[in-house]
Structure 1
């Protein structure tokens, strides 16, 4: 099977699963997890005691010879922007896992995109961590969803992590209206609270951090050759050295905690997921939590 056929097969597999999950188990949570995006004009009605005089329409009032005010309704339509890290480390899949981190990210993105399509919301995509960013402007419909899945799975992953600040600037310049932005990455790049902060100031930012469990703790397997997925460097390492394994675990935990601390200081909802684990329960919990926040 050539690469194109393999990608199409994966797209179809993810599409079928995402369509079922978005329809059967996620529709209610998705809709309730959105914050309203403002007010749209609806109609006119006669002025009543207690109405805000700022909403009096003077042209209609003069024509009808009695005060009329403008009525508004909440506009729920919202753009969903999926920002997916496609740097070299996202291609990693340890033995025993069917999907790489990037493929796992595609599953999550597909469910979110299908949910947006079913609810009449626009969905867009920004892929970074490759030679040039790929940007797909927000649009409605299932055709857009299929393209999003296809673009994520077919993207090259030969490059190193981009500056998160550059990624934030691109989102801010291409998406002028407030949107819900899912930033899906393994977050192995250096922390950048400033970039997260300016992105979350304009948009509803939700980081989703994906990790392969083998990245957290190295196995005791003797001598191995590691290849850095982002710069191609090789390193000969003796994993029988328990001190080395423990140091790696401590540094990894410290780096992840630095990101977590920044997420919390900025008040961001975020998810921590491991490839191979069910992602629907955490997604539902996230949207349910947001729904309770908006209802108060």
Structure 2
């Protein structure tokens, strides 16, 4: 039984996403993620200017009038949302937790997919694969996906991206679009990421909170590691410590960017204190430009 609070959040997200998944971004999605090929649609009479290579000579011979074959794009794409709900995702210093932001972004991508008659699946993971919903079409299924992300209570707190990628590589038999939504607070997943990226269209959606790279000078503060539960007393007034945190964050950003480039994985970089629609639209525009 879902709590009233979760249902309220689902309705709020549904309303918000229905407004922003407009024709512009929906059209961008369609042009960026092409179907597997084309399939026969219909025959119609030849119109001057049509490609003569499309003439259906059998129908033309029977009718005495030139007809052409028309083909439509065969979409039938599968979009797999791979969502990190580890302990570090349950952090947010601005308006929402990273896990709530993950639900909104997943909802937007899912609604774009079903608008284009594509199937949507879900994998929730922590340091293990927690919940899997095979890909299906339809609005009801997408709403279930959103409810699962918002309401799921994971058993694990750590992060093992490698396990999640191994799982989707095993269950997805055909080339699919995989959105990996995480803060990427993990290591040792590059080898399997490269393998998945060669078989599928893998897109990394990285969620970042500003306080993870900039410590405010608040004096002695007790922090809890969301993944281990360990409490640590930190002197945030230390300029040296704040510089170290900032330097480590910058180094991690650079290392991740290089890792994604090496494995030809596109990155959508989302910060919790900024609108998430902008980096998503930027991703679509860059993809469109690259495909020309």
TM-score range, shorter chain: 0.7 to 0.9
Q: What corresponds to 1:31 in structure 2?
A: 30
- Aligned-residue RMSD, C-alpha: 2.4
Q: What corresponds to 1:187 in structure 2?
A: 184
Higher RCO structure (Cα 8 Å, ≥6 apart): 1
Identify the range of structure 1 (122-131 vs 84-93) with the bigger mean alpha-carbon deviation. 122-131
Identify the range of structure 1 (80-89 vs 188-197) with the bigger mean alpha-carbon deviation. 188-197
1:16 aligns with 2:12: no
Contact (CA 8 Å) 2:158, 2:228: kept in 1 or not? no
1:218 counterpart SS class: coil
How far has the Cα of 1:145 moved from its partner? Answer: 1.1
Contact (CA 8 Å) 1:90, 1:157: kept in 2 or not? no
1:26 counterpart SS class: helix
5 Å-filtered alignment, 1:250-289, equals 250-289=247-286
How far has the Cα of 1:167 moved from its partner? Answer: 1.2
- CA shift in 2, pair 1:282/1:26, >3 Å: same
Deviations 1:62-111 (CA, angstroms, capped at 9, x unpaired): xx9xxxxx9975422311111110000001011xx221001011111111
Q: Distance in 1 between matches of 2:188 and 2:23?
A: 37
Q: Distance in 2 between matches of 1:31 and 1:136?
A: 24
1:148 to 139, 145, 150: 145
Deviations 1:241-296 (CA, angstroms, capped at 9, x unpaired): 111111111112212211111101122211111113111122122112222333x3
Identify the range of structure 1 (197-206 vs 187-196) with the bigger mean alpha-carbon deviation. 187-196
Identify the range of structure 1 (276-285 vs 99-108) with the bigger mean alpha-carbon deviation. 276-285
1:31 counterpart SS class: helix
Contact (CA 8 Å) 2:129, 2:164: kept in 1 or not? no
Q: Distance in 2 between matches of 1:121 and 1:14?
A: 20
How far has the Cα of 1:30 moved from its partner? Answer: 1.2
How far has the Cα of 1:22 moved from its partner? Answer: 1.2
Q: What corresponds to 1:48 in structure 2?
A: none
- CA shift in 2, pair 1:269/1:43, >3 Å: same
What is the TM-score with the length of structure 1 in the denominator? 0.84
- CA shift in 2, pair 1:256/1:79, >3 Å: same
Contact (CA 8 Å) 2:182, 2:206: kept in 1 or not? yes
Q: What corresponds to 2:84 in structure 1?
A: 85
- CA shift in 2, pair 1:262/1:130, >3 Å: closer
1:291 aligns with 2:288: yes
> Structure 1: 5+ residue runs without aligned partners?
45-50, 52-59, 65-69
1:221 aligns with 2:218: yes
Q: Distance in 1 between matches of 2:5 and 2:271?
A: 24
> Structure 2: 5+ residue runs without aligned partners?
44-52, 63-68
Contact (CA 8 Å) 1:87, 1:158: kept in 2 or not? no
2:21 counterpart SS class: helix
Q: Distance in 1 between matches of 2:196 and 2:112?
A: 23
